[in-house]
Structure 1
Amino acid sequence: MAKRPTRLRFTEDDLADSHVKKAADRADKAVDRAEKAADKLASKKAKPKLKLETDAAGSRKAKLRFEKAEFTEIERPSVAKHMASRGAAVTLTSKAHRAVSEYEDDNIGVQAVQETTKAVESTVYTVDHAVYSHKLKAYDKAEKLVEKSDKANVNALYEKFKKDNPDAGSNPFSRWQQKRAIKKEYAAAKAGKNTASTTASASKGAGKATGKAAQGAKNITERVTEFCTTHSKTILFVLIAGLLFMILSGMFSSCSAMFQGGTQIILGTSFTAKEEDIIGADNDYKALEAALRNKINNIERTHSGYDEYRYDLDEINHNPYELAAYLTVKFEDYTRDEVQATLQWLFEQQYELTLTEVVEIRTRTTSSTDPETGETTTDEEYYEYYILNVKLRNKGLNSVISNSGLSEDDMERYRILLQTRGNRPDIFGNDIYATPGGEYTDY
């Protein structure tokens, strides 16, 4: 089952902020596309809308609330139902064919009808399957557009959060956590979950218990008073022990929470592969670059015969921390052998080598001497001048990674890993490009 897209509503004060306005417009357009696709699958019904409102005190803090309208769910075309209905039809028609076939040999007309019927049935089955496939594709398209609209809504809510909390998100990891929290809150609100705490009701049967409690209250009070008087030291010891237990339990639970939170932060900001695999993968990438450099150095040998070679070359290099950060986000705990295909793909995206032949028609002066008169004459002649233009473009590894299709969460973690250097600041030794922004791009 797929739900319809959710449309956000912002206050005029929110939309006065250009970033919120831009994100809200993008979200509206995404919702429009998703609704259009959904409307093709089901009749229009009341659409749920997620409101962002101010509280009674006039605070601009965002509140997620759905209007009172049920979600219109679109049922995915069922393979089982499709096959069941088609199976039932096949069963009925096969019985009919068997009944007719008893007289088929004796009647040429019956044979003709039988063959025509089979052809029509075959056509009907083909059309039926095509209709089912079309419905399935339309459903998948609508589902993807709803997912995109949800993503745009989360971005808009995040922009509003930044507007209302200008001091929040001082570092990339904080921003990453804030956006994840907003995404969870949005998903919970859309799913109709109630995150508020609930209180168990004990009103049922209270009236019956009240009478009995009143009758025995006096006797119980007297007994408690007597026990406290005769066992005062024991009670004091029990109270002290209980207090110590509560303090220790609180300390251990706090330490456990701190440990879990610290572990998540460390893992989220660290390279998780083994050191030999991280360095090995970087060396493999350097080997690809060395092969490219060697290819350019031998151009005049492998492409001989030109009058001139013209070179327009970007520098061949990469920041090893960018490579390690990308591989960590992509594979997490990777091995050197596991990432070879990815290294080749990144290399092909980063570098572009083109060889272009140019032929120029030039003129040159020639002289000749008459052997009889000794006179020298000069002439101009045309000739072809061959030039090979060698051009290398380095798009920059960071630029390639930024356009590699990573999700926003993955890109946020990629930037965090660059900032923290994966908590391994010396893993690449004295590599001159192993610094934030160390990749040479001003060619």
Structure 2
Amino acid sequence: MTRDGLIEVNETKETAERVSRREREADFSRPQEQPEPQAAQEIAAQNAAELPPVSPDASPLPLTPELPHRQDTATAERVIERIDAAQTRKASKKAAHKAQRDATVKEKSSRLQFTEEELSTPELEKYIRKSNEAADRLDAAKAAIPKEKKLVKERTFDEATGKAKTRLRFTEQEKPINGGKAHSNPLSRPAQEAGIFVHNKIHSVEKDNSGVEGAHKSEELAEKGAKYGTRKIREGYRSHKLKPYRAAAKAEKAAEKANVNYLYHKTLHENPQLTSNPLSRFMQKRQIKRQYVKAAKTGGTATAKKAAENTRKAAKKTAEETRQAAAFVARHPAGVCIAVAALLLFIMVSAGLSSCGAMFSGMMNGVLGTSYTSEDSDLVATENNYAAKETELQQRIDNIERDNPGYDEYRYDLDNIGHNPHELASYLTALLQSYTPQSAQAELNRVFDKQYTLTLTEEIEVRYRTETRTDTWTDEDGNSHSDTYTVEVPYNYYILNVKLTNKPINSFVSELLTVEQLEMYRVYLETSGNKPLIFGGGSPDVSASEDLSGVQFVNGTRPGNTAIVDLAKRQVGNVGGQPYWSWYGFNSRVEWCACFVSWCYGQMGLSEPRFAACQSQGIPWFTSRGQWGARGYENIAPGDAIFFDWDLDGSADHVGLVIGTDGSRVYTVEGNSGDACKIKSYPLDYACIKGYGLMNWN
């Protein structure tokens, strides 16, 4: 089997016969050059001598290709010629396009070409000189830009051989500005983390040693100075490298301005009629500059000069339109004045609406920036979790004697357990922004450990007790005698000292927050997060106290207590709740409406009711004793407690003292009503009245 098909070879007769019926394959190889005639005869004779003898019965293999094979070879040659021709045409077209682009780039220049007529015009001489000077400065600035050699691939066409060739060559071009980000040191991030870790460790102990604190602050200051100096050196180095590029950009802008100015004055010189009035000249100049800049960016100075000619025609048309508009205004002055007045009115109204919108947006941003960002349910749930920890602490103190038996005495030095809910919420919001009970749990534990410190200390005292002893002895006569006496016997007296310290949250938040967070904390605490009643215990009413000097009260069947009414009235005008919350035992301000009511009862010589929370302490005290009257109870009297449910969720939010009723309204004195003591009044069927705590005075 050969590439020409199946051939049968007879080795005995030394003959070969092609038996395949398929067409021979075309030879696509390039034809060899034909030898000279004499050389061809010599080659033929040599080939004939080398061929083996052929049997007369066998069909000898042809020495020349058959006709179909010759046709296939010619077809292949034509295909190859077409392929070469197509590649040559493609290479030629590509080279022509590249040459055209290079020519366009070379033509793009900021230097204008002036004719002899333009150079001989005195009016344009100054502008031509400025244009040439600007172009010279631009060429010098571009020459100062760093250059670099770049290897490029170039494809050329050889007309002699008819072939396209690719060759490499170096070209010099402007070095581009390095806008990429500098590669960072892979060890910088671990080093920073290590530095932060070390600084945090020092921060945790530096408050105990002023020397360590001073040294640490000096070290931090030195580090900041070193970083600042390094940054400035890098910025200066980069600014120095970019100086040629800035100079080139500045020179290019100046050259563009000079060229535009020349073309504008040239247009005015050739068309004096365009300078009709100042408004027309201003609009024409802007139009000429705009079209020139657009043409200069796309096609170089030649296209720009052509665009200036087109601009001249457009400016002439603009001048004509301006004259027509002026004539229209002269014919209809009243209509134009009305239109201008309407336009001014529209602008004033739009500006007013825009100012209102900006003011409203500013007000909204101010409200949002001073409000708690968490959901109300999350705020309350987190507060309840903290209160539960305080309840657990109280239970632990209550069970100390059970959990630590065997002591002769238990001594207690306990601060009050309690906190300001808004201090806790303001701290968590400043630190965590929006939080949930789960995300704030770690911070709750941290704050709780800082606020409360419970220490149990064992103390042993050596004390003496008097014991009576009897000594018995026998005299010489055998008589028994006894003497009784007392002695002081030492013994150990075991004491367990229980001390609870309560540091208000406001006293240590500065240790846990940054400067910015501390500022946010103070804003939230000042505004109560714009949710003063979220934790209960206060009234949102910020209006003035009412005047009851002309009201006649009807006490009803219950006598009440006029002394507590007079006491409560004397408190009207107090702001901030001092001394009521401090009398109760708090070290800082809390929601103090219940503290005020308890203080009034205490001044009357009553130890109870004493409560700081309305729903969890105040109402249970009255209901457990059968002294509770719901809203609508008619037999209320001066000195009773009145409870309010502002958000109507079934839980009391506020409490005050009843000072009387006239049968249709109830009159009260309330603490923490807008953070002040005020006299207020409400209809007896007011929906927010939850009920009354009925006091007994006998």
TM range, smaller chain = 0.5 to 0.7
Paired AA for residue 275 in structure 2: A
Q: For the Cα contact (< 8 Å) 2:532–2:538, is it kept in 1?
A: no
Q: Structure 1 residues 230-239 or 414-423, which shifts more?
A: 230-239
Residue 441 of structure 1 corresponds to 587
Q: Deviation of residue 262 (structure 1)?
A: 1.5
Distance in 2 (alpha carbons) for counterparts of 1:291 and 1:139: 37
Distance change in 2, residues 1:133/1:271 (3 Å): closer
Residue 522 of structure 2 corresponds to 415
Distance in 2 (alpha carbons) for counterparts of 1:324 and 1:146: 34
Residue 487 of structure 2 corresponds to 379
Q: For the Cα contact (< 8 Å) 1:346–1:400, is it kept in 2?
A: no
Residue 300 of structure 1 corresponds to 401
Distance change in 2, residues 1:250/1:340 (3 Å): same
Residue 315 of structure 1 corresponds to 416
- Out of 363, 386, 392, the residue aligned to residue 285 of structure 1 is 386
**Structure with the largest fraction of helix:** 1
Residue 111 of structure 2 corresponds to none
Matched, 1:353 2:465: no
For structure 1, the residue ranges without an aligned partner over 5 or more in a row are: 1-74, 83-130, 154-191, 193-199
Matched, 1:337 2:483: no
Distance change in 2, residues 1:425/1:369 (3 Å): same
Residue 424 of structure 1 corresponds to 531
State the Cα deviation string for residues 288-318 of structure 1 (Å, max 9, x = none): 1111111111111110100111111111111
Residue 373 of structure 2 corresponds to 272
Count, aligned residues: 267
Partner of 1:338, secondary structure, is: coil
Q: Deviation of residue 385 (structure 1)?
A: 1.0
Distance change in 2, residues 1:415/1:149 (3 Å): farther
Q: For the Cα contact (< 8 Å) 2:410–2:496, is it kept in 1?
A: yes
Distance in 1 (alpha carbons) for counterparts of 2:265 and 2:490: 120
Partner of 1:357, secondary structure, is: strand
Distance in 2 (alpha carbons) for counterparts of 1:362 and 1:431: 53
Q: Deviation of residue 415 (structure 1)?
A: 0.8
Distance change in 2, residues 1:135/1:246 (3 Å): closer
Residue 209 of structure 1 corresponds to 264
Residue 675 of structure 2 corresponds to none
State the Cα deviation string for residues 221-279 of structure 1 (Å, max 9, x = none): 64343121234354334323321331232123212322332222112211122222212
Distance in 2 (alpha carbons) for counterparts of 1:305 and 1:245: 90
Distance change in 2, residues 1:225/1:336 (3 Å): same
Distance change in 2, residues 1:277/1:408 (3 Å): same
Structure-to-structure mapping, 1:98-247, within 5 angstroms:
145=220, 203-204=257-258, 205-213=260-268, 214-218=272-276, 220=320, 222-247=323-348
Distance in 1 (alpha carbons) for counterparts of 2:415 and 2:196: 48
Q: For the Cα contact (< 8 Å) 1:76–1:136, is it kept in 2?
A: no
State the Cα deviation string for residues 101-143 of structure 1 (Å, max 9, x = none): xxxxxxxxxxxxxxxxxxxxxxxxxxxxxx997799689999x
Residue 102 of structure 2 corresponds to none
Distance change in 2, residues 1:395/1:134 (3 Å): closer
Distance change in 2, residues 1:76/1:373 (3 Å): farther
Q: Deviation of residue 357 (structure 1)?
A: 0.9
Distance in 2 (alpha carbons) for counterparts of 1:147 and 1:415: 31
Matched, 1:397 2:505: yes
Q: For the Cα contact (< 8 Å) 2:370–2:523, is it kept in 1?
A: yes
Distance change in 2, residues 1:140/1:340 (3 Å): closer
Q: Deviation of residue 323 (structure 1)?
A: 0.6
Q: For the Cα contact (< 8 Å) 2:373–2:433, is it kept in 1?
A: yes
Structure-to-structure mapping, 1:48-59, within 5 angstroms:
none
Paired AA for residue 417 in structure 2: I
Q: Deviation of residue 206 (structure 1)?
A: 2.4
Partner of 2:498, secondary structure, is: strand
**Structure with the largest fraction of strand:** 2
Paired AA for residue 335 in structure 1: T
Paired AA for residue 363 in structure 1: Y
Distance change in 2, residues 1:390/1:136 (3 Å): closer
Distance change in 2, residues 1:277/1:148 (3 Å): farther
Distance in 1 (alpha carbons) for counterparts of 2:395 and 2:461: 28
Q: Name the % identity.
A: 37
Q: For the Cα contact (< 8 Å) 1:277–1:335, is it kept in 2?
A: yes
Q: Deviation of residue 320 (structure 1)?
A: 0.7
State the Cα deviation string for residues 1-31 of structure 1 (Å, max 9, x = none): xxxxxxxxxxxxxxxxxxxxxxxxxxxxxxx
Q: Deviation of residue 423 (structure 1)?
A: 1.2
Normalising by structure 1, we get a TM-score of 0.52
Q: For the Cα contact (< 8 Å) 1:76–1:139, is it kept in 2?
A: no
Q: For the Cα contact (< 8 Å) 1:419–1:436, is it kept in 2?
A: no
